[in-house]
Amino acid sequence: MPEKHAIKPGQSVELLKELHILTRDGALNQDSRRKLKQVNHLYQFIEPLLKEVQRDHSGITLADHGAGKSYLGFILYDLFFKNQDDNSHIFGIEARDELVERSRALADKLLFSGMSFLPLSVADSICSEAIPAVVDIVTALHACDNATDDAILFALKKKARFIVLVPCCQAEVAAVLRKNKAAARASDSLTELWRHSLHTREFGSHVTNVLRCLQLEAHGYQVTVTELVGWEHSMKNELIIASFKDLPRRRPSERLHELLQTLGLSEMSHRFFTP
């Protein structure tokens, strides 16, 4: 039997087996226990957002970018969406055809009719006619490198009320910092923050997420940043939640462009665009 403290009430044991989070006899090993904790912990952050949208209107739409095997989408559907008697829908967006087909087969097997899986890159999904013009919630869990930025662009285009991001493998900013390092060191001691290669990578990752938060704020979102789980479970655990509140935009936009200029990243203004 599965460990009772690890399984939420009403959670499908069959789904957890299909996702290989539980073994066929319902057991949890160390790796699967970690995966289950991560996804269930993320659900605790997303459930209040789903309920807030639900108070405003029925028929929630959620797009999950870089879905992979759609762990997150399936868990969300199982714990929340399957009990909704409306037109609520989850769109899983994943570029790898084999993972899309696998997710489609699993959704059919479990009778999760409110799930669709699209073989698209995050960037291509922005123009896809298969996705509604407005999406309530956008998630991107470990979407690599600039796929997280494409997910932000998607969310802005779709006028998402909530955006939930767990960024991963940010390399683009670090590459620009590295390219401009020699020239910058001659005039600014601030570059000591990323002089060494390890620091360039780590500082670039940190700056990327700071810029993303400022970009979201510059579009009227309220942003919170926290840990998804403890460091013992994952090194990629920064959780960014943006809620559209139509907040003032000028100050964060100014700060964003000042930071890009200060760090020698002005050439990346197109990536972190503001209104």
Query: What are 33-68's pLDDT values in tens digits?
Result: 777 777 788 899 999 999 999 999 999 999 999 999
Q: What is the pLDDT of residues 106-146, one digit of tens each?
A: 999 999 999 999 999 988 999 999 999 999 999 998 777 78
Can you give the pLDDT at residue 1?
Answer: 43
Residue 155: pLDDT band with limits 50, 70, 90: very high
Residue 235: pLDDT band with limits 50, 70, 90: low
Helices 172-179 and 197-218, interaxial angle, to 10°?
120
Residue 233: pLDDT band with limits 50, 70, 90: very low
Nearest to 209 by CA among 238, 242, 243: 238
Q: What is the C-alpha to C-alpha distance for residues 169 and 237, in angstroms, rounded to an integer?
A: 11
CATH 3.40.50.150 fits 34-268, yes or no: yes
Backbone angles phi, psi at 35, to 5 degrees: -60, -45
